[in-house]
Structure 1
């Protein structure tokens, strides 16, 4: 999470960065920020004025598109709290008053700041943080801690999985055309068992070992709590303690944010900082040359030196992604500034591995001059490598490795342009609304292209979907389950508008809804009769939906016949719908559309399959199709 800085220079820098935007984007952001400031200062004791929803159109349309706008809010003390920004009651309003004055001065066309000098307070704070992070990375070199880390890894299990995959790849290679141009020795060099072990380690860490926490669960009722405030920690291994309140029990649950990896080996939970911290330790404990990567725009991950490829490999444990350095810029739409790598050997600016747009990044790098940054990083590295316990052989090796890295980054932009058709997805960790609001994922039309063949089960087809379990069942008339498919999307043909499954732990409800920013959402299921000896006789639908504040959920059937004739049948009552108008159709498209609603949460006002989490066995949708012989 972005940490607010305590100096005026940083606030002035944030306001000045607004000038990097197009005039209309800048002006809208300045007006929105000024309104937020004035609302709080006008009614400082009203919690509603201190809250800004991340899905609010002010954030989505005016603040997120503007460089520096969100940074202004963070700098005056706003913190992220699930799906909102909130100014805690214990935060002084002095910085908010300063921001208001700076923005007012801008609107009156008065100069509000000066260029940041090389020895500015902002630069000193930036360099101090780099120095501290470079010191902290030495935690990974503690032999006792590495031993403890190895004890939690199922090494034998991962090695077996890696060797099995290696043999499978070798077998596939043996019978492929690649063997004609590549020697077996070259194949072994390019892909080693150690590389495959890393793949298995990453998958295990993501899916079995570590847990993402947006907000901790209540210790009494297990309901997910809501962020309230943050307090300092007296434990030197813990950077701060977040306080979250259970809205049901009204108790406070502490969420310590540990910066030291040892407690996290037992707790096994956190956000990206904790994830990358522990994963980097595990990699070091297995003998990988690993380093901790810190992105100043709010993310962290790991890099591994691949001896076979002679390059640093990007790994993101939160996403289970390997070697996709452009993921943040192209997939998450991040506007990167400084990406710094920390290892036991050196500290490096590796920003250029993670961008295709060096010119844009250079415009955003305002904290210090490039020369002063290079000089500072070089001095820290020299200090580490010239220490008494650092061997000359290791120093020579690291120097050669650094030369290879520099050469690699020189040519990266050209290589990346050649791969510009590669797909980069948005962020998967964290709540969906939070990721959408941050602009780190995009609304996408998802095509599963699945078609249900209703004729392969005989003359009666019954499909049941349970949203609580998120499972489809094809059921025989005696109740026997003929087929099961997990995940609501897996049974669909196509969805629009970023439809997602939302769980409300506070209300104990679950439903499908469209994504924030989407004007409408749509889901289509397709059912066909592949057996030419059968034809469709009747169709029955039983399902449920809820609407609020003028929202709409509408169902319809598109019946397609062998002569390409199509008739559209509106579903008047989805709770109990029956029709014979589909008789002799060969394909049915079942389409539900979500639209309407009011205000900043309009996307949430049209809900499909809304159901209590306690109704575990109740079917959320039942489709019954009767067939007959020709």
Structure 2
């Protein structure tokens, strides 16, 4: 049966009972009329101003989607079912709706006794800190539901992720062997052995990457189902009004992860809710991390590392706890971890600024917060269903964590590390939150083209969002995940856009930005070599008078940065030149601009590819070197 149709019918179940019943009855009427009169054109058309559409289908999540999934298409003023559309899909929808007398899911029973643990002398401000902790603590227990985990397991491509993990493991082995013969043999070998020692941690990297780029979708604002345009109000409201047709668009924020397995969209709360469920489903000890300054992510206990590892599914980032403070410039105060075992204050894992954080922790006294957290843990771990063995294990694990958190600042991060600004959400939304700067984003990454001999081969896949360096035979020597991680700098809120309607992905500037730019830097670090030839292949797409321009700057003398030449690149489909011969540094720049109307920002597209093209080579750079 059609997966999209099954998903839309599942969406119907998430509506309020009255709304769901109205939508299901309207859909049954449409199906029955067409199946009873298959050759009558009037039954194949549903006008957009028909009360059945405006009052029954549009208000229901999944209502209009069901019509599109059985073959209806949008015309000028109605939805129409083409004559060639198979009636089997209507019969399938009719059967699904007739079976929709499914039992209503029983809500999770709350333990109201937890709220009695809040000290009776607590102020209103203290209660605003304590209440969410209790709510999240109770919420994570939902992940332990066996039937929910079974549903989650069905949507995780476990075999594919295991294969990807083994591939990554093999590449790391090759990477270690490659550098063992180098001058830094001891250092590289030690680091390589550390990276490949535990495949279970590597599996998390693959799960994280798949979750961000193939499973879940970030939503800035809900979409009008009729006109396929985004409404203007924030999605924290359950309903927003479309600015074009006036229709109220429903977009509830779910705290139950089950409907999100079907919806697969939301903001950080929904992302981490489902990702933490996936981690628990796959047997990891995982916990839900609540940042009081408005962000959510996940931590997983690494058996190999004997510590909790930070994972942010929204950003596809692993083990970079200082990202929020250093990259996003967040003024942190309280960061609370909730798992099936306990609640813990883990703020100190995420900051180097202990003095500044302490000044902002004014909601309650430190002793009162500690006593409250300990009372929650004692109550939970003293329940009849909590084993003594598990309690002893959790206590030992907690001691290990306390020893780790005593080391402030965090010993695994240094001031020299790069921390990126937030990438999810629209440019204007991120800028309003202060989580990105208004100036250029400087990554300052340089590709050492002389590191691999006299030939350098770089490929980037927009579908996998992955750079890889290969040798002449095509063997992968190195991989870097994330397009921005391989750049020197970029500006204009450049981001990776995924259009699920058209099944394509590309890089573009953010909405409202006139011009966007990306720069890549290539250096010849070996003093005995310099550049001989430069070859570039890239894919671009423009609409409505938009513009994508490329240029390459060559620097011939590192001691004199003024000795350079800039060449415009008119055709990037297959550009090759030897005019840059003897250069020791290249800076490749692409600039996007132009377009028309409110969507001008997406009319200039870099590396546009179909999401189904997993073998794409959106960017190919080949550099040949020679001896001085």
Q: TM-score, normalised by structure 2?
A: 0.55
Aligned to 2:137: 134
Task: Say if 2:173 and 2:196, in contact at 8 Å, map to a contact too.
Answer: no
> Over the residues paired in the alignment, what is the CA RMSD in angstroms?
5.5
Unmatched 5+ stretches in structure 2: 1-119, 448-482, 500-505, 522-530, 534-541, 571-577, 610-628
Aligned to 1:444: 441
Q: Deviations over 1:335-358 (max 9, x none)?
A: 011000000110000000000011
- Residue 498 of structure 1: which of 478, 492, 499 is its match? 492
Task: Say if 2:328 and 2:434, in contact at 8 Å, map to a contact too.
Answer: yes
Task: Say if 1:189 and 1:308, in contact at 8 Å, map to a contact too.
Answer: no
- Residue 348 of structure 1: which of 332, 344, 347 is its match? 344
Task: Say if 1:273 and 1:299, in contact at 8 Å, map to a contact too.
Answer: yes
Aligned to 2:224: 218
Task: Say if 2:232 and 2:242, in contact at 8 Å, map to a contact too.
Answer: yes
Aligned to 1:143: 146
Task: Say if 2:511 and 2:601, in contact at 8 Å, map to a contact too.
Answer: no
In structure 2, what is the Cα distance between the partners aligned to 1:565 and 1:311? 51
Task: Give, in angstroms, the shift of residue 565 of structure 1.
Answer: 9.3
Further displaced range: 304-313 or 250-259 = 250-259
Per the alignment, in what secondary structure is the counterpart of residue 413 of structure 1? Answer: coil
- Residue 400 of structure 1: which of 389, 396, 401 is its match? 396
Task: Give, in angstroms, the shift of residue 154 of structure 1.
Answer: 1.0
In structure 1, what is the Cα distance between the partners aligned to 2:294 and 2:304? 31
In structure 2, what is the Cα distance between the partners aligned to 1:307 and 1:316? 19
The alignment status of 1:282 with 2:278, answered yes or no, reads yes
Task: Give, in angstroms, the shift of residue 200 of structure 1.
Answer: 1.2
Q: CA separation of 1:569/1:188 partners in 2, compared to 1, >3 Å: closer, same or farther?
A: closer
In structure 2, what is the Cα distance between the partners aligned to 1:157 and 1:373? 44
The alignment status of 1:301 with 2:297, answered yes or no, reads yes
Aligned to 1:161: 164
Q: Deviations over 1:56-86 (max 9, x none)?
A: xxxxxxxxxxxxxxxxxxxxxxxxxxxxxxx
In structure 2, what is the Cα distance between the partners aligned to 1:565 and 1:188? 43
Q: Deviations over 1:135-191 (max 9, x none)?
A: 11110111111111111111111112212322333454467549979999x958972
Q: CA separation of 1:387/1:447 partners in 2, compared to 1, >3 Å: closer, same or farther?
A: closer
Q: Deviations over 1:387-408 (max 9, x none)?
A: 1011111000000000000000
Quick one: higher RCO (CA 8 Å, sep 6+), 1 or 2?
1
Task: Give, in angstroms, the shift of residue 437 of structure 1.
Answer: 2.2
In structure 1, what is the Cα distance between the partners aligned to 2:372 and 2:405? 20
Task: Give, in angstroms, the shift of residue 194 of structure 1.
Answer: 1.2
Task: Give, in angstroms, the shift of residue 612 of structure 1.
Answer: 12
**Matches for 1:154-193 after TM superposition, within 5 Å:** 154-173=157-176, 177=180, 187=193, 191-193=197-199
The alignment status of 1:411 with 2:407, answered yes or no, reads yes
The alignment status of 1:247 with 2:207, answered yes or no, reads no
Q: CA separation of 1:174/1:437 partners in 2, compared to 1, >3 Å: closer, same or farther?
A: same
In structure 2, what is the Cα distance between the partners aligned to 1:293 and 1:559? 45
Task: Give, in angstroms, the shift of residue 196 of structure 1.
Answer: 1.5
Task: Give, in angstroms, the shift of residue 368 of structure 1.
Answer: 0.5
Task: Say if 1:276 and 1:302, in contact at 8 Å, map to a contact too.
Answer: yes
Further displaced range: 171-180 or 151-160 = 171-180
**Matches for 1:543-622 after TM superposition, within 5 Å:** none
The alignment status of 1:371 with 2:367, answered yes or no, reads yes
Q: TM-score, normalised by structure 1?
A: 0.55
Per the alignment, in what secondary structure is the counterpart of residue 200 of structure 1? Answer: helix
Aligned to 1:458: none
Task: Say if 2:510 and 2:601, in contact at 8 Å, map to a contact too.
Answer: no
In structure 2, what is the Cα distance between the partners aligned to 1:380 and 1:242? 32
In structure 1, what is the Cα distance between the partners aligned to 2:556 and 2:168? 47
In structure 2, what is the Cα distance between the partners aligned to 1:431 and 1:444? 16
Per the alignment, in what secondary structure is the counterpart of residue 436 of structure 1? Answer: helix
Aligned to 1:427: 422
Q: Deviations over 1:579-620 (max 9, x none)?
A: xxxxx987999999999xxxxxxxx9998996799xx9xxxx
